[in-house]
Structure 1
Amino acid sequence: MNPKLKQLRPGKIVSGVAAVLIVLLIGANSFVSVEYGHVGLYKTFGKLNDNTLSPGIHFKIPFIQTVIQVNTQVTKAETDTSASSKDLQPVSTHVAVNYSVNKTSAFNLMNNIGGNFDNVIINPAIQEIVKEVTAKYPAEDLITRRDVVSSEISEHLTARLAKYDLIVNDINIVNFKFSEAFNQSIEAKQVAQQQALKAENDLRRIEIEAKQKIAQAQAEAESLRLKKQEVTPELVQLKQIEVQEKALEKWNGVLPSVTGGATPFVDIQSLTK
C-alpha cells in the first residue's frame, strides 16, 4: 500500500467523524419540544417572536434561536399580608391564589414583564388589595363574613391581573390572625352569648312548665266541677242506703244501747221502704 495513502486515511476518518458530529449537533439543535401545559416563544438573538408554539416538537434555527416555555397550567401563589381592620385591629392574612397565564397573550406577558411576573405583579397586587379590602370591615366581620371578604378580594384581583393577561381561577383566605387581646375578647363574648342562650332556654322551660301546671290545674278543676254536677240528692240518698245496707249485713241483730235520745245508726224505716 502506498505510504501516502496510509498517512491520509486517519485524517479523513477524523474529518468524517467530525462532520458527522457537527451534523448531529446541528440536528439536535434544530428541534425543540414544548412540554404539555406550556406554550413556546421563539427568541432570536434576545428578541422574542410573537409566534406562539403549542405543545409538541418544533423546528428552530440552530445556535441562533432558542425557545422559552411559558407554563399555562393553574399555579398557586401564597402570600402573607399584615394590615388593620376598620376598627384598627391588627390582622395578618394568609391568602392562596390560583392563577394561570392566558395562552394567547403569553407573548405580551413575557415581553413586557418577563418570567418573574409572580414576584413583580402577582404578590404585590395581592398585598395591596388584601390591605385595601380588610380595612373596610371590622375585625369581627372578617371572621363571620369571610366569604364576602374573599369574593371582594377576588373581584379586585381579577380586574388588576387581567391587565397583564393573567387569569385568576380561585382565591382562598387560608387564615386570619388577630392579636391575643382580640382573641380573648371574642372568646369572652362567645361565653357570654352561650350563657345568655342558656338562661333564655331555662326561662322558656320554666314558662312551659308553668303553663303545663296551669293547664293541669284547670283540667282538675273542670273535672271536679263536672263531678259536682253529677252529685244529686237522689244520688246522695242512694249512697246512704248502700252504706246502711252494708252496715245491716254486718249487724248481729242486737240493737245498741243508747242514752240521751240519740238516733239509731240504722234507719229501719228507710230500709223498709
Structure 2
Amino acid sequence: MRQQNGELLIIGGLVIAGLVVVGSFSSSAFEIVSEGTEGVRIFNGKAGQVVNPGFHFKTPVLADIIQFDTTVQTYDPPPIRIPTQEQAGIELDAAVIWRMTPGASPMVYRNYQTLDRLAQATIHRELPTAINSVTAQYPFSDLTSRRSAIQAEIETQLREQLLEIDAPVSDVNVNLQNFIFPEAITQAIQQKLEQEQLTQKAQLELQRVKAEAEAKVATAEGEARANRALSTAITPQLLELRKLEVQQQTINKWNGVMPVYMGSGQELITLPQPTPSN
C-alpha cells in the first residue's frame, strides 16, 4: 500500500512538472508587441525581420522578439560651451527631440542594442559640432535677439550630420532652452537693452512732438487761407447788406415804444411815429 502511494506521488510530481514545462513553452511561444513600439525577431542572437504591433508567434528558446519605442524621445545633455566671434565663454543649454526611424529596429539592435546607446553614439556626438559651427558665426550680442534663426540653423546642420553617418533617427528638432552668459556679459547685455529702450522712447517722443507741430502748422495755414478768402470777399455791397440785416434784426425786436435817439446821442435808426387817430 505504501509502495503504491509512493508511485502515485512520483507520477503526480512528474505530471505537474510536465504541465509546468508545457506551460512555460506555451507562454514563450508567442509575444504581444505593444502599440508605440516596433519589434525585431532575434534568432540565435541575430536580428531578423521587423515585427509590427500585435500578437506574434515565436520559436521557444531559439527565438525572441525585442521591442523598441517608436514614440518621441528627448535627449537633454548638460550645457555645451560654445564659441562666438569674441570667444566669450558662453554655454548653451539645448535639447533634441527625435524618434527612431520606422523599420530601423534590426539596425538599432545590431549596432546599438538600445535607444539610449543610439542617442549617445549619434546625437550626443554630433550636437556639439553642429552648435559650434553655427554659433561661431555670431557675436554674443546677437545670440538672444536672433535665437530663432540660430536654432533653425543648428537644427538643419544637425540633421545633415546625422544623415551623413546614416544614423537611424528621424523627426529631429532642436530646442534652445537657455544661453548661459558670464556675469560681465550679462551686465553688458542688460545695459544694451536699457539703452535701446531709452532710444526707442526718445524716438517716439520726437515723433509725437513733430506730429503736434505739423498739426499746428496745418491749422495756422488753414486759418490764414480762410482770412485771405474772407478779406477778398468783403465789398461795399456786402457791408451795406450786413447793415440792413442788423437794422432788420433791431426792428424785429421793437416792442412798440421805440425812441428816436439812442445811445450816445447819435441817431441809430428813425422810425415813423404812429399818427394819433381823431
**Would you call these one fold, judging by a TM-score over 0.5?**
yes
Q: Matched residues in 1 for 2:23 and 2:236: separation?
A: 132
Matched, 1:64 2:58: no
- What is the match of residue 50 of structure 1? 48
Q: Counterpart amino acid of 1:68?
A: I
Answer whether contact 2:47 2:109 (CA < 8 A) is retained. Answer: no
Displacement of 1:177 after TM fit? 2.2
1:183 maps to which of 178, 183, 186: 186
Q: 1:91 to 1:230 in 2, by over 3 A?
A: same
Deviations 1:172-217 (A, max 9, x none): 2122222222222222222222222232233333333333333333
Displacement of 1:26 after TM fit? 1.8
Aligned pairs (5 A) from 1:229-244: 229=232
Answer whether contact 2:42 2:48 (CA < 8 A) is retained. Answer: no
Q: Counterpart amino acid of 2:141?
A: E
Query: Percent identity, aligned pairs only?
Result: 24
Q: 1:231 to 1:77 in 2, by over 3 A?
A: same
SS at match of 1:196: helix
Answer whether contact 2:47 2:110 (CA < 8 A) is retained. Answer: no
RMSD of Structure 2 on Structure 1 (CA): 3.3
Q: Counterpart amino acid of 1:250?
A: M
Q: Matched residues in 2 for 1:90 and 1:118: separation?
A: 26
Q: Matched residues in 2 for 1:214 and 1:160: separation?
A: 64
Answer whether contact 2:25 2:60 (CA < 8 A) is retained. Answer: yes
Deviations 1:217-244 (A, max 9, x none): 334444444454456578889999x9xx
Displacement of 1:36 after TM fit? 1.6
Q: Counterpart amino acid of 1:211?
A: E
Displacement of 1:17 after TM fit? 1.2
Matched, 1:213 2:211: no
Aligned pairs (5 A) from 1:221-232: 221-229=224-232
- What is the match of residue 88 of structure 1? 87
SS at match of 2:188: helix
Report which stretch shifted further, 221-230 or 194-203.
221-230
Report which stretch shifted further, 77-86 or 225-234.
225-234
- What is the match of residue 249 of structure 1? 261
Answer whether contact 1:43 1:65 (CA < 8 A) is retained. Answer: yes
Gaps of 5+ in 2: 247-258, 271-278
TM-score normalised by the chain length of structure 2:
0.76
TM-score normalised by the chain length of structure 1:
0.77
- What is the match of residue 173 of structure 2? 170
- What is the match of residue 256 of structure 1? none
Matched, 1:76 2:77: no
Q: Matched residues in 1 for 2:14 and 2:241: separation?
A: 146
Q: Matched residues in 1 for 2:233 and 2:2: separation?
A: 153
